């Protein structure tokens, strides 16, 4: 299995073409001391020719060889002098290799127990985690811990490499016993589809190619698995989030908001809402060096130009209407504490979240997490390498999603304002479904247009918990009244306007009722399409909903529920507890 | 619709994000411009990050005076063509005192003309962030380097006290006098860099392409003669078909025998020959773990 001199490339253009199509998989590796992790990575690099000849020669010439073979593969990856002396990897090291199918980035993290923070670091950007288990020792407390951290950091896929199979004579029963025990643990933590592979990193069994010494194993080799596991394209399916990084204004005529689409897709013509101002606009164009784009999806960089001249700056977020993130100064997060100085509740810290930095206080430690089982135990402080759930209060509102639904808008780091050190990494929790707090948290919503009133739509929303809307339901009076009842029962001020309205002033009435916060249902068989468009123009398309009777269910009850679902989708109503299926 | 980026576009996205973060969060960033292929890629990424605006920070070239003439010509031509602001800094005092690698040895020469000069230029310019083109795949100690690498007021790096770096949330907080070295190409490999140069048609110094060049053949090394290296008895320059795999100072950069005179041919050579690109850089090998020592002292 040694790397032979590769055949000269006959057709470089074909090679480049293939190389250009490759996707990227980032994975992290975690194992306990001496379970052969560095050797496994050295083997992957070596066998896939990710190691250069002269680097290999330096390892061959090294005075140290802790292995039994001619080459100590672990020396290829142990970087710093101090580590070389201790023989333990003590920091995160990044490694690169590629196969004809994929390019890989490895975040190699140490197994020593006190280095939880390094594993969290490596895990934060990984699509997949390889957890190593020594076949002789079985599932150790550290193995459970590594699994727990991988899951906590939201790594979508887990592979368990049961290593040193050569030292247990490649016995299927040893592998099966470990698989059963570890799989049970992973299932309890919420991972049902982990992949288990028996390997010998030292000899190369099942690392690159399937081994004849494990005839009872029918799965893929480790590298085959890494090459074939689906890449996570899930980021583009989520609600669009575009945190503004930098405002580009080369001259008076151009104003673009540069940033990265961290989730979802944005296209020219899209209606967008700018947080925190709540102002609405439309995407005029998406400008890049390579030309204007018809769409930009996560994680593409882009420069977005808007139709309106708004005051948008770094830290603002563009979102689609009806797909609001949570907005709050109060939230709970899971923290991995990374500083020797323990967390001090009540002390001001800095938080960096997307492209914003703000001051915040950790008001309380709610609990500490048992890093082996993820069970919560009461605690009032956190120390180095401990993980716990805390309550945070920031000086300004944060626009966030739960980490479990969006890693980009659900993550934050905590910075000590005196030492400037990064002291913790945080994963924001889904706010508990306290309706009052939920409504209040979405305060930064709608554009302030009605100059006549000093009470802003945002404040009205904070109190009411829903947005005013104009619902156009020509010719379904029974449905209109049923919908009124349904909305009323959900706490909305709602009113049906039917029959006697003078059509010329109808748009004004719609706008006025909206301005005072009502949901108004227009239901009259004499209303026509022209009226509808005039009313829409006056009210604004964000708050105007025209339902064609032909597209609704025949049963009034079903149709009313359809309409409620649309209102939820568009952010007029908060999601009801039972209809929540979003974010998956 | 295929909503997935290829690895090169994913790397590009990551780098552009880094450029914008730094430009937004630091008062006086600067880009260390070494004229090599990695610098060329950095420049293109910076152009993309701020398009249609100009690159909002100057470029800094630390000139040891031992660079290839073709590098200096390329530097002046290219940076002015793209409208970038260029600062050139030399350790004039050491040069006046006759610093050169033949007399001082490579370690001392580098310390004075590169490391010292760089630290002086950064502190004289009041720069709080400096982009560098280093990649983690170049050398073992670089594999653990952060994207934002903190340097104390003396410009030094402490490998035991690096800030943890999670997601793409970079900590830009520093006190007065301290600075951050930023490595936007951290996750690129040599192959990625060349492939991107090919894909984007990025100009690079002609020294990377093979042609007949006058060199001294010493053992397996091809030594350029531009700055008159001392000859051993019986040695004389000869014309060899060769190219530079990485660009440094002429006395410390060996050429490699090659017929690769286009980017695709260079890539073909790269994939065929598995020798790391720093192998021809004498300074990496002058002491075991030598790159790590240089970095602690402030070398890039």
Helix (H) / strand (E) containing A373:
none
Confidence of residue A277 (pLDDT cuts 50, 70, 90): confident
Question: Is there a domain that residue B144 lies in?
Answer: yes
Facing A411 at nearest CB: one of B13, B167, B289? B167
Q: Please determine, for residue A479, whether its predicted confidence score (pLDDT) is greater than 60.
A: yes
Q: Please determine, for residue A191, whether its predicted confidence score (pLDDT) is greater than 90.
A: no
Handedness of CA B153, B150, B19, B89 (dihedral sign): positive
For the segment B25-63, what is each residue's pLDDT rounded down to a tens digit? 999 999 999 999 999 999 999 999 999 999 999 999 998
Residue A137 buriedness (CB in 10 A; 0-12 / 13-18 / 19+):
middle
Whether A287 and B51 lie within 8 Å, measured CB to CB: yes
Whether B7 and A22 lie within 8 Å, measured CB to CB: yes
Calculate mean pLDDT across residues A176-202: 93
Shortest Cα distance from A242 to chain B (angstroms)? 12
DSSP codes, chain B: ------HHHHHHHHHHHHHHHHHHH-SSEEEE--SSHHHHHHHHHHHHHHTTSPPSS-EEEE--S-B-HHHHHHHHHHHHHTT--EEEE--HHHHHTT--HHHH-HHHHHIIIIIIHHHHHHHHTT-SEEE----TTSSGGGGG--SEEEE-TT----TTSPPP-BTTB------TT-EEEE-TTTT--HHHHHHHHHHHT----GGGS-EEEEEEEETTEEEE-TT-PPPPTT---EEEEEEESS--BGGGB-EEE----SHHHHHHHHHH----GGGGBGGGGSSTTHHHHHHHHT--
What are the chain A neighbours of B21 within 8 Å (beta carbons)? 245, 355
Q: Between B85 and A578, whose confidence is greater?
A: B85
Q: Between B134 and A82, whose confidence is greater?
A: B134
CB neighbour list of residue A283: distance below 8 Å, 6 or more residues apart: A266, A267, A268, A269, A270, A272, A304, A305, A306, A307
Confidence of residue A449 (pLDDT cuts 50, 70, 90): very low
Question: Is there a domain that residue B46 lies in?
Answer: yes
Whether A355 and B21 lie within 8 Å, measured CB to CB: yes
Q: Clarify whether residues B241 and B189 are in a common domain.
A: no
Q: Check if the beta carbon of residue A387 is closer than 8 Å to that of residue A116.
A: yes
Q: Please determine, for residue A336, whether its predicted confidence score (pLDDT) is greater than 60.
A: yes
Confidence of residue A466 (pLDDT cuts 50, 70, 90): confident
Give the three-state DSSP class for A509: helix
Facing B16 at nearest CB: one of A84, A95, A301? A301
State residue A231's pLDDT score.
79
Q: Clarify whether residues B119 and B229 are in a common domain.
A: no
Q: Please determine, for residue A407, whether its predicted confidence score (pLDDT) is greater than 90.
A: yes
How far apart, in whole angstroms, are the C-alpha atoms of residue B194 and residue A283?
A: 35
Question: Is there a domain that residue B228 lies in?
Answer: yes
- Range 17-36 of B in CB contact (< 8 A) with A: 17, 20-21, 23-25
Q: Clarify whether residues B16 and B133 are in a common domain.
A: yes
Confidence of residue A436 (pLDDT cuts 50, 70, 90): very low
Question: Is there a domain that residue B2 lies in?
Answer: no
State residue A7's pLDDT score.
47
What are the chain B neighbours of A21 within 8 Å (beta carbons)? 6
Helix (H) / strand (E) containing A88:
none
Shortest Cα distance from A332 to chain B (angstroms)? 19
Question: Is there a domain that residue B13 lies in?
Answer: yes
Q: Please determine, for residue A4, whether its predicted confidence score (pLDDT) is greater than 50.
A: no
Kindly list the structural domains of chain A, giving each domain's residue range(s) and its CATH number in brackets, ordered by start.
12-228 (3.40.50.300), 235-319 (2.40.30.10), 333-431 (2.40.30.10), 453-579 (3.40.50.300)
Question: Is there a domain that residue B20 lies in?
Answer: yes
Q: What is the mean pLDDT of chain A?
A: 83
Q: Which of B1, B2, B3 best probes binding to A when mutated, by most A CB atoms within 10 angstroms?
A: B3
Calculate mean pLDDT across residues B58-69: 89
For the segment B79-137, what is each residue's pLDDT rounded down to a tens digit? 999 999 999 998 888 888 888 877 777 788 888 888 888 888 888 999 999 999 999 88
Calculate mean pLDDT across residues A238-254: 94
Calculate mean pLDDT across residues A486-512: 80
Quote the number of domains for chain B: 2
Facing A96 at nearest CB: one of B49, B50, B137? B137
State residue A192's pLDDT score.
84
Confidence of residue A141 (pLDDT cuts 50, 70, 90): confident
What are the chain A neighbours of B7 within 8 Å (beta carbons)? 22-24, 98, 102-103
Question: Is there a domain that residue B1 lies in?
Answer: no
Q: Please determine, for residue A74, whether its predicted confidence score (pLDDT) is greater than 70.
A: no
Q: Would an 8 Å CB–CB cutoff place B261 in contact with chain A?
A: no
Q: Would an 8 Å CB–CB cutoff place B162 in contact with chain A?
A: yes
Q: Please determine, for residue A181, whether its predicted confidence score (pLDDT) is greater than 70.
A: yes
Partnered with residue B87 across adjacent β-strands are B60
Q: Please determine, for residue B284, whether its predicted confidence score (pLDDT) is greater than 90.
A: no
Whether B191 and A299 lie within 8 Å, measured CB to CB: no
How far apart, in whole angstroms, are the C-alpha atoms of residue A232 and residue A156?
A: 8
Q: Would an 8 Å CB–CB cutoff place B291 in contact with chain A?
A: no
Q: Is the ipTM here above 0.95?
A: no
Question: Is there a domain that residue B38 lies in?
Answer: yes
Whether B54 and A96 lie within 8 Å, measured CB to CB: no
Whether A248 and B51 lie within 8 Å, measured CB to CB: yes
Q: Between B43 and B227, whose confidence is greater?
A: B43
State residue A453's pLDDT score.
57
Whether A53 and B275 lie within 8 Å, measured CB to CB: yes
Q: Clarify whether residues B229 and B131 are in a common domain.
A: no
Q: Between A284 and B237, whose confidence is greater?
A: A284
Q: Clarify whether residues B96 and B212 are in a common domain.
A: no
Q: Would an 8 Å CB–CB cutoff place B276 in contact with chain A?
A: yes
Q: Clarify whether residues B262 and B115 are in a common domain.
A: no
State residue B207's pLDDT score.
93
Q: Which of B83, B147, B164, B170 best probes binding to A when mutated, by most A CB atoms within 10 angstroms?
A: B164
Helix (H) / strand (E) containing A381:
none
Whether B3 and A13 lie within 8 Å, measured CB to CB: no
Highest mean pLDDT among A260-264, A537-541, B135-139: A260-264
Whether B171 and A420 lie within 8 Å, measured CB to CB: yes
CA dihedral defined by A277, A278, A279, A281, rounded to 10 degrees?
A: 130
Confidence of residue B273 (pLDDT cuts 50, 70, 90): low
Shortest Cα distance from B98 to chain A (angstroms)? 34
Whether A55 and B140 lie within 8 Å, measured CB to CB: yes
Share of chain A above pLDDT 70, in %: 82
CA nearest A268: which of A235, A291, A245?
Answer: A291
CA atoms within 13 A on the CB side of A56: 16
Highest mean pLDDT among A155-159, A166-170, A318-322, A533-537: A166-170
Phi, psi of A556 (to 5 degrees): -60, -40
3-state secondary structure A26-87: EEEEECCCCCCHHHHHHHHHHHCCCCCHHHHHHHHHCCCCCCCCCCCHHHHCCCCHHHHHHC
Q: How far is CA B243 from CA A25, A219, B69, in A?
A: 33, 46, 15
**Domain containing residue B72: CATH number:** 3.40.50.620
Whether A80 and B141 lie within 8 Å, measured CB to CB: yes
State residue A114's pLDDT score.
56
Q: What's the domain range around B38?
A: 7-196+289-297
Measured between CA atoms, the residue of chain B closest to residue A80 is B141
CA nearest A450: which of A355, A540, A360?
Answer: A540
Q: Between B13 and A202, whose confidence is greater?
A: B13
Calculate mean pLDDT across residues A285-311: 94
* Edge-to-edge strand list for the sheet holding B86-89: B86-89, B59-62, B29-32, B129-131, B179-182, B148-151
CB neighbour list of residue A325: distance below 8 Å, 6 or more residues apart: A239, A241, A275, A317, A319, A399, A400, A401, A409
Whether A300 and B13 lie within 8 Å, measured CB to CB: yes
Q: Clarify whether residues B191 and B43 are in a common domain.
A: yes
Q: Check if the beta carbon of residue A545 is closer than 8 Å to that of residue A566.
A: yes
Residue pointed to by tokens 């490694």: A95
- Is pTM beyond 0.95 here? no
State residue A580's pLDDT score.
40
How far apart, in whole angstroms, are the C-alpha atoms of residue B170 and residue B147?
A: 8
Facing A81 at nearest CB: one of B24, B187, B289? B289
Q: Which of B16, B147, B167, B258 best probes binding to A when mutated, by most A CB atoms within 10 angstroms?
A: B167
Facing A54 at nearest CB: one of B267, B271, B276? B276
Q: Clarify whether residues B235 and B124 are in a common domain.
A: no
Q: Clarify whether residues B79 and B166 are in a common domain.
A: yes
Q: Clarify whether residues B60 and B93 are in a common domain.
A: yes
Q: Clarify whether residues B155 and B45 are in a common domain.
A: yes
Shortest Cα distance from A56 to chain B (angstroms)? 9
Q: Clarify whether residues B246 and B208 are in a common domain.
A: yes
DSSP codes, A208-231: SS--TT-TT--S--HHHHHHHSPP
How far apart, in whole angstroms, are the C-alpha atoms of residue A377 and residue A172?
A: 38
């Amino acid at each position: 299995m040694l790397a032979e001199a590769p055949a000269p490339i006959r057709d470089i253009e074909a090679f480049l073409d293939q190389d250009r199509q490759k996707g990227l998989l980032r994975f992290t590796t975690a194992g306990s001391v001496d379970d052969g992790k560095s050797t496994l990575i050295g083997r992957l690099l070596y066998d896939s020719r990710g190691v250069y000849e002269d680097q290999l020669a330096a390892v061959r010439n090294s005075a140290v060889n802790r292995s039994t073979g001619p080459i100590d593969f672990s020396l290829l990856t142990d970087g710093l002098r101090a580590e070389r002396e201790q023989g333990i990897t003590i920091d995160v090291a990044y490694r690169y290799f590629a196969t004809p199918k994929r390019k890989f980035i490895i975040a190699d993290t140490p197994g020593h127990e006190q280095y939880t923070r390094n594993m969290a670091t490596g895990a934060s950007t990984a699509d997949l985690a390889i957890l190593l288990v020594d076949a002789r020792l079985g599932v150790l407390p550290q193995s459970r811990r590594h699994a727990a951290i991988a899951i906590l950091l939201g790594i979508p896929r887990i592979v368990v490499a049961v290593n040193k199979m050569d030292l247990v004579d490649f016995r299927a029963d040893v592998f099966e016993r470990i698989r059963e025990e570890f799989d049970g643990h992973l299932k309890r933590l919420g991972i049902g589809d982990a992949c288990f592979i028996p390997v010998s990193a030292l000899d190369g069994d099942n690392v690159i190619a399937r081994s004849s010494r494990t005839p009872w194993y029918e799965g893929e080799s480790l590298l085959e698995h890494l090459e074939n596991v689906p890449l996570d394209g899930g980021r583009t399916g989520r609600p669009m989030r575009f945190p503004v990084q930098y405002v580009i204004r080369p001259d008076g005529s151009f104003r673009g908001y540069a940033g990265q689409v961290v989730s979802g897709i944005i296209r020219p013509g899209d209606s967008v809402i700018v947080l925190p101002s709540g102002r609405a606009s439309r995407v005029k164009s998406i400008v890049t060096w390579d030309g204007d784009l018809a769409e930009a999806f996560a994680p593409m960089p882009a420069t977005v130009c808007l139709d309106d001249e708004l005051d948008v700056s770094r830290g603002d977020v563009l979102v689609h209407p009806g797909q609001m993130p949570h907005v709050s100064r109060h939230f709970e997060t899971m923290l991995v504490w990374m500083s020797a100085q323990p967390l001090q509740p009540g002390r001001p810290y800095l938080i960096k979240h997307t492209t914003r930095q703000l001051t915040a206080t950790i008001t309380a430690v709610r609990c500490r997490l048992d890093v082996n089982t993820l069970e919560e135990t009461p605690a009032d402080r956190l120390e180095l390498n401990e993980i716990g759930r805390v309550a945070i209060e920031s000086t300004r509102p944060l626009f966030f999603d739960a980490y479990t639904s969006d890693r980009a808008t659900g993550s934050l780091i905590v910075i000590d304002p005196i030492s400037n050190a990064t002291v913790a990494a945080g994963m924001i929790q889904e706010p508990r479904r306290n309706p009052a707090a939920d409504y209040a948290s979405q305060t930064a919503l709608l554009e302030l247009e009605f100059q006549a009133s000093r009470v802003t739509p945002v404040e009205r929303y904070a109190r009411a918990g829903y947005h005013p809307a104009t619902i156009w339901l020509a010719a379904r009076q029974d449905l209109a009244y049923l919908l009124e009842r349904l909305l009323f029962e959900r706490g909305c001020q709602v009113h049906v306007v039917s029959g006697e309205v003078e059509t010329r002033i109808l748009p004004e009435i719609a706008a006025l009722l909206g301005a005072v916060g009502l949901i108004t249902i227009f239901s009259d068989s004499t209303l026509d399409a022209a009226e509808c468009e005039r009313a829409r123009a006056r009210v604004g398309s964000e708050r105007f909903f025209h339902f064609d009777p032909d597209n609704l269910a025949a049963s009034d009850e079903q149709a009313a529920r359809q309409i409620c679902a649309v209102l939820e989708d568009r952010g007029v109503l908060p999601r009801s507890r039972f209809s929540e299926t979003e974010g998956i | 619709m295929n909503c997935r980026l290829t690895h090169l576009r994913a790397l590009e996205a990551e780098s552009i994000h880094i450029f914008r973060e730094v430009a937004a969060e630091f008062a006086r960033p600067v880009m260390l411009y070494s004229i090599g292929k990695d610098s060329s890629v950095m420049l293109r990424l910076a152009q993309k990050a701020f398009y249609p605006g100009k690159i909002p920070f100057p470029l800094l070239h630390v000139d040891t005076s031992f660079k290839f003439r073709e590098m200096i010509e390329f530097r002046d031509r290219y940076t002015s063509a793209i409208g970038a602001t260029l600062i050139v800094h030399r350790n004039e005092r050491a040069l006046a005192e006759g610093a050169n690698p033949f007399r001082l040895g490579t370690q001392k020469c580098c310390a004075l003309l590169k490391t010292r000069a760089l630290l002086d230029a950064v502190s004289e310019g009041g720069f709080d962030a400096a982009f560098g083109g280093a990649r983690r795949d170049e050398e073992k100690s670089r594999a653990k380097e952060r994207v934002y690498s903190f340097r104390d007021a003396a410009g030094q790096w402490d490998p035991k006290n690096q800030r943890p770096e999670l997601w793409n949330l970079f900590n830009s907080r520093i006190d007065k006098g301290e600075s951050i070295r930023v490595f936007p190409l951290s996750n690129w490999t040599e192959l990625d860099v060349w492939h991107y140069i090919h894909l984007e048609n990025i100009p690079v110094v002609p020294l990377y392409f093979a042609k007949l060049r006058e060199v001294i053949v010493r053992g397996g090394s091809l030594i350029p003669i531009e700055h008159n290296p001392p000859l051993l008895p019986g040695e004389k320059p000869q014309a060899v078909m060769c190219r530079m795999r990485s660009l440094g100072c002429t006395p410390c950069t060996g050429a490699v025998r090659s017929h690769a005179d286009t980017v695709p041919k260079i890539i073909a050579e790269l994939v065929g020959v598995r020798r790391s690109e720093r192998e021809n850089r004498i300074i990496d090998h002058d002491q075991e773990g030598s790159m790590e020592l240089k970095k602690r002292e402030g070398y890039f």
